[in-house]
Amino acid sequence: MPVNIKDPDEEVLVAKQFDYIRNYLNQVERTLYADNFSLDGHSYTDYIDVNSFIDWWFVHELTLNGEPRWPKSSYMYKGRNGKLFAGPVWDFDWGTFIPDCFSYCINGAIWYNRLFDDPTFVNTVKKKWTETKTLFENVVQEIDNTEVKIRNSDNINIQMWPIDQNTNGDESMEFTEAVDRLRQSYLDRISWLNSAINNL
C-alpha cells in the first residue's frame, strides 16, 4: 500500500525514522496477509489498534464516504512504542451520503478486505456495532439541532461561494430539502448496516 508521511515534516524526518515507519507498515501488511493472520509469532493485532480501525470503518460506512478507496485521504498515526491507529477521519468532500447505496462503501480500502477475512475481527465488529448503534442513531438529533443553527447561514454561503458542482446530488436543493435528504440517507444507512453487520 502506498503511504505518504505527513508528520514529521520532510525537512526534519531523518532516514532512521523513515526506515522505521516503512518497516513497521510493511510488517503490519505481511502479518495481516500471512496464513492465520500471524507471522513470526505475532498477530496483526500486535501492531494495530483494532478498535480504531473498526471505528474508522464505521464512520466511513455510515457516511457513505468512498474516498478511502483512493487512500490519499486516509490517515493513520502511531506514537512511540505504540500501535498503529486508524484516523483521524478526513475530508468528506466527495461522494458522501449518496442515497440509495445499499452495499459496502469502502470495499478494497486499505486493509479492510483482509481484515474481514478474519473471524475474530468480524466478531469484534459485530460486538462493537451492538454497543455503539444507539450512539449513531442519536446523531439524528444533532442533525436536527444543527439545521436550526445554520439555516440562516445557507443563503450567505451560496452568495459567497456559488455552487458549480453537484457531486452528491444535493447541492442544487433547497436547504431544508438537502437536510431532509441527509437525515433520511443516514437513517437508511444505519438500517442497512445493522442488517449487513448482523449477517456477516
pLDDT tens digits for 88-124? 988 776 666 665 555 666 566 679 999 999 999 999 9
Which pLDDT score, from 0 to 100, does residue 3 have? 76
Domain that includes residue 82, residue range: 48-198
The residue with greater pLDDT, 177 or 94, is 177
Please list, in sequence order, all residues whose beta carbon lies within 8 angstroms of the beta carbon of residue 136, skipping any fewer than 6 positions away: 58, 62, 190
Residue ending a domain, among 44, 61, 77, is 44
DSSP states of 65-111: --GGGSGGG--EEE-TTS-EEE-------SS-S-TT--S-S-TTSTT
pLDDT tens digits for 159-170? 888 777 776 777
Q: Assess whether 155 and 62 both reside in one domain.
A: yes
The confidence band for 9, taking pLDDT boundaries of 50, 70 and 90, is confident
Q: Assess whether 117 and 53 both reside in one domain.
A: yes
Counting every residue written for the chain, the total comes to: 200
Q: Assess whether 19 and 102 both reside in one domain.
A: no
Q: Assess whether 1 and 92 both reside in one domain.
A: no
Q: Assess whether 21 and 90 both reside in one domain.
A: no
**Per-residue cell: 20:** 522505521
**Domain count within the chain:** 2
Q: Assess whether 67 and 11 both reside in one domain.
A: no
Q: Assess whether 16 and 95 both reside in one domain.
A: no
Q: Assess whether 104 and 172 both reside in one domain.
A: yes
Q: Assess whether 101 and 172 both reside in one domain.
A: yes
Q: Assess whether 101 and 67 both reside in one domain.
A: yes
Q: What mean pLDDT comes out for the span 59-68?
A: 83
Q: Assess whether 25 and 80 both reside in one domain.
A: no
Task: Round to whole Å and give the CA distance between 94 and 157.
Answer: 18
The confidence band for 192, taking pLDDT boundaries of 50, 70 and 90, is very high
Which pLDDT score, from 0 to 100, does residue 108 have? 61
Q: Assess whether 114 and 28 both reside in one domain.
A: no
**Per-residue cell: 1:** 500500500
Angle at 118 between CA 116 and CA 119, to 5 degrees: 100
pTM for this structure?
0.87
Which pLDDT score, from 0 to 100, does residue 165 have? 73
